[in-house]
Amino acid sequence: MITKRIIPCLDVKNGRVVKGVNFQGLSDVSSPVELGKYYSDNGADELVFYDITASSEGRALFTDILKEVASTIFIPLTVGGGINTLDDFDRVLKCGADKVSVNSGAIKNPNLIYEGAKRYGDQCVVLSVDAKRVDGKFKVFAKGGRENTGLDALEWIKRGVDNGAGEIVLNSIDTDGVKGGFDLEMLNAVCEIVSVPVIASGGAGKAQDFIELFKKLPKVDAGLAASIFHFGEVKINELKKVLKDNDILVRL
Amino acid sequence: MVVIIDYGVGNLFSLTSSFKQIGVDVITTGDKEIIKKADKIILPGVGAFEDASEKLFSSGLADVLLDRVKDGVPVLGICLGMQMLFEKSFEYGEHKGLGLIKGEVRPISEVIPKDYKIPHIGWNALTFPNGKSELFKYINEGDHVYFVHSYYGANCDESVIATAEYGAPLTAAVGHKNVYGCQFHPEKSGNVGLNILKAFCEMESYK
């Protein structure tokens, strides 16, 4: 059977991983290549790289780095950030990405999902959604969670899947950074309406949060996190052992 | 010399890199003269069967490949490349394959339970129903590999060398004489995948 996936997410700016990362044995803690390799060697099932560069020079640098990552790491790679056109899909796929994550690019141009899926297949298009409760409804937010787009998150996700998104990353702004656990209510609402894999993001603070996620919502396929992995609060290989001890299927 | 056949289907960056990683020289090409000299051949593929088989046959690369198989050269099809080894596929119609593996390619929806997600995507464990193939000499039953597919090799029991459980035992790899195929992506399956490629590269020509 398919295992539950544990996915660390690395934000890259000007070719460097943002947020201090401190692991023993890493000579360069901000190198996407070294960190990616570290995670890959220590149980990560997949890696997500987000390009948070604004400049075109930074973007070219990101693409070079991606190439280097993909020539040394042999697990699935998802790339997001700055994906606005099919040329952007092409640019990152050629450098070894397996999936392309769209977020604000799809909000600006909803056809992007359909076009990407048509050209590269549904399995290649990941719709990443930042959602937050507003007056009891889940709303889609843009610009790193600062701007309410007014879009209903469940409708937006349903539409994205109908247009060919092969996977959903749901990041709950309400639980993000709180470290009190994933947003099970929001995740459950999404799992109820789509049949593609759902990746939970936002809120994980400890191993128990992942156990709860997969136990309470068996339909969720993967858990994604950034800082708790980067700061070593949760070690992926240890997390996966704990998951296995709790009868959750993982790749060890 | 290992040759990856480039017939304009999918992106070969990771596959090419994975051979470099295990220290094997590899040439990625659609040049028939080079393929004629290869002593191992990789047939990759991502996308739709019809488009891929059209490209492989109309370019004449299929004939070159079939000749090399007759010469005993080990061939490894990956993902759609594995499906191309079969006699035919029922992906959007009925399309002819290379006929190197007896059987056909059918939608997984025909055999898996209705509440299972399609495609079959993610890490799944390998089972060896007919003993351990030479292709798996460096790995173990139960090791995980990475899958992304909606179609599978059917009616090929005698060639199946590995299955993956997804509500039904799906064909994960096939082998017949010098012809091998993996439904999963060894180039995305970490060290397990690299060890499968390594074992393939060490195979002798079939006499």
Residue-wise pLDDT tens digits, A124-181 = 999 999 999 999 999 999 987 889 999 999 999 999 999 999 999 999 999 998 899 9
Asked if A71 lies within 8 A of B189 by C-beta distance, the reply is: no
Does residue B16 fall inside a structural domain?
yes
Token pair listed for B68:
């090399």
Spatial separation of the C-alpha atoms in residues A105 and A239, rounded to whole Å: 33
Does residue B151 fall inside a structural domain?
yes
User: What CATH homologous superfamily does A5-245 map to?
Assistant: Aldolase class I (3.20.20.70)
Q: Please tell me the predicted confidence (pLDDT) of residue A145.
A: 82
**Mutation site, B51, B80, B117, interface A, largest A CB count within 10 A:** B117
Touching check for B124 and chain A: CB below 8 Å?
Answer: yes
Touching check for B17 and chain A: CB below 8 Å?
Answer: yes
Residue A24 has pLDDT above 90, yes or no: no
Q: Please tell me the predicted confidence (pLDDT) of residue A27.
A: 60
Does residue B185 fall inside a structural domain?
yes
B120 neighbourhood in chain A, CB within 8 Å: 2
ipTM of the complex: 0.90
Report the domain count for chain B.
Answer: 1
Helices (H) and strands (E) in chain A, counts: 10, 11
Asked if A74 lies within 8 A of B123 by C-beta distance, the reply is: no
B165 neighbourhood in chain A, CB within 8 Å: 1
Asked if B166 lies within 8 A of A93 by C-beta distance, the reply is: no
Touching check for B21 and chain A: CB below 8 Å?
Answer: yes
Structural domain including B8 reads 2-201
The 3-class SS string of B110-144 reads HCCCCCCCCCEEEEEECECECECCHHHCCCCCCCE
For residue B24, the number of C-alpha atoms closer than 13 Å in the C-beta half-sphere is 26
Map out the domains of chain A as residue ranges. 5-245
**Mutation site, B123, B143, B146, B188, interface A, largest A CB count within 10 A:** B123
Q: Which of A67, A98, A221 sits opposite B122 (nearest CB)?
A: A221
Mean pLDDT for all residues in chain B: 95
- Percent of chain B exceeding pLDDT 90 equals 91
Query: What SS3 class is residue B104?
Result: strand
Spatial separation of the C-alpha atoms in residues A45 and A252, rounded to whole Å: 10
CA distance A98 to chain B (A): 9
Q: Please tell me the predicted confidence (pLDDT) of residue A21.
A: 53
Residue A29 has pLDDT above 80, yes or no: no
Touching check for B153 and chain A: CB below 8 Å?
Answer: no
Touching check for B18 and chain A: CB below 8 Å?
Answer: yes
Instruction: Tell me the pLDDT tens digit for each residue of A181-223.
Output: 999 999 999 999 998 999 999 999 999 999 999 999 999 999 9
| CB atoms inside a 10 Å sphere around CB A105 | 21
Task: Give the pLDDT mean for B127-141.
Answer: 97
Does residue B133 fall inside a structural domain?
yes
Rg (Cα) of chain A, in Å, rounded? 17
CA distance B190 to chain A (A): 5
Per-residue CA distances from B10 to A66, A90, A94, A119, B49 (Å): 18, 11, 9, 11, 12
Residue B135 has pLDDT above 50, yes or no: yes
Could you tell me the pLDDT band of residue A20, with boundaries at 50, 70 and 90? very low
Task: Give the pLDDT mean for B158-181.
Answer: 97
Task: Give the pLDDT mean for B16-36.
Answer: 96
Which residue in chain A has the smallest CA separation from B148? A123
Task: Give the pLDDT mean for B110-127.
Answer: 94
Residue B193 has pLDDT above 90, yes or no: yes
CATH number at residue B115: 3.40.50.880
Spatial separation of the C-alpha atoms in residues A154 and B50, rounded to whole Å: 35
Q: Which of A74, A122, A195 sits opposite B188 (nearest CB)?
A: A74
Is A130 a catalytic site residue? yes
Touching check for A94 and chain B: CB below 8 Å?
Answer: yes
Asked if A121 lies within 8 A of B47 by C-beta distance, the reply is: yes
The 3-class SS string of A93-110 reads HHCCCCEEEECHHHHHCC
Could you tell me the pLDDT band of residue A18, with boundaries at 50, 70 and 90? confident
Q: Please tell me the predicted confidence (pLDDT) of residue A23.
A: 58
Residue A28 has pLDDT above 80, yes or no: no
User: Is the CB of residue B123 less than 8 Å from the CB of residue A5?
Assistant: yes
Task: Give the pLDDT mean for A46-75.
Answer: 89
Touching check for A45 and chain B: CB below 8 Å?
Answer: yes
Q: What is the DSSP string of B29-95?
A: E--HHHHHH-SEEEE---S-HHHHHHHHHHTTHHHHHHHHHHTT--EEEETHHHHTTEEEE-SSS-E
Residue B126 has pLDDT above 90, yes or no: yes
Does residue B207 fall inside a structural domain?
no
Burial class (CB in 10 A: 0-12, 13-18, 19+), A143: exposed
Task: Give the pLDDT mean for A80-89.
Answer: 94
Length of chain A: 252
Task: Give the pLDDT mean for B181-189.
Answer: 97
Single pTM value for the model? 0.93
Does residue B206 fall inside a structural domain?
no
